[in-house]
């Protein structure tokens, strides 16, 4: 898989996101800030249609290549700002893995009644904005902090090396 700048969403986090969103085979899923497309690719197995959005050229290039490599045909890749692309899109659920305009993107999703969404964050400031916006609009469902540690060899034994904690803020209908 190709990866643009930034950190790809870990497979364990993707599994939790997909479980929480409970995507149906008739639904449209939108991956906002798609990065390498790993969330889009995983969601494509469940959704009728997936839209992968990013405003970075390297992310669009990586996502497109990774989709092609996986031979998936129900994903459309869109380059641009999510806040300008999603207002007219029909969707059932969304994952926000990155956005410069996080508050605006969340507010657009809120106005789309019945849309379920999850914000993934590593920065406390992003958590704060997402939580405040969702609570103010009565769509906050759940806040999770996920801490993964991976086993690594150390002097003939195994030690755990922690990854950065990930926050998932669940909201929507």
What is the DSSP annotation of the chain? ----SS-PPPHHHHHHHHHHHT--TT-EEEEET-TTSHHHHHHTTT-SEEEEEES-HHHHHHHHHHHHHTT--SEEEEES-HHHHSTT---SEEEES--TTHHHHHHHHHHSTT-EEEEEESSHHHHHHHHHHHHHTT-EEEEEEE--EEEEEETTEEEEEEPPPEEEEEEE-
From first to last of the 173 residues of the chain, give the pLDDT tens digit.
666 666 678 999 999 999 999 999 999 999 999 999 999 999 999 999 999 999 999 999 999 999 999 999 999 999 999 999 999 999 999 999 976 899 999 999 999 989 999 999 999 999 999 999 999 999 999 999 999 999 999 999 999 999 999 999 999 97
pTM as predicted: 0.93
* Domains observed in the chain: 11-172 (3.40.50.150)
């Amino acid at each position: 898989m190709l990866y643009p700048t930034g950190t790809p969403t870990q497979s364990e986090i993707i599994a939790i996101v997909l479980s929480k969103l409970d995507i149906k085979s008739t639904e449209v899923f939108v991956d906002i800030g798609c990065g390498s497309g790993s969330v889009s690719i995983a969601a494509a197995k469940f959704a009728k249609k997936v839209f992968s959005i990013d405003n970075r050229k390297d992310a669009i290039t990586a996502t497109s290549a990774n989709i092609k490599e996986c031979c998936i045909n129900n994903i459309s890749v869109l380059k641009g700002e999510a806040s300008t692309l999603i207002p007219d899109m029909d969707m059932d659920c969304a994952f926000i893995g990155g956005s410069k305009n996080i508050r605006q993107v969340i507010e657009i999703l809120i106005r789309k009644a019945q849309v379920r969404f999850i914000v993934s964050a590593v920065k406390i400031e992003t958590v704060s904005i997402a939580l405040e916006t969702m609570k103010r609009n009565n769509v906050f469902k759940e806040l999770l902090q996920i801490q993964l540690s991976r086993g690594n060899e150390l002097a003939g034994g195994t030690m755990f090396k922690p990854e950065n904690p990930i926050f998932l803020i669940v909201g929507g209908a």
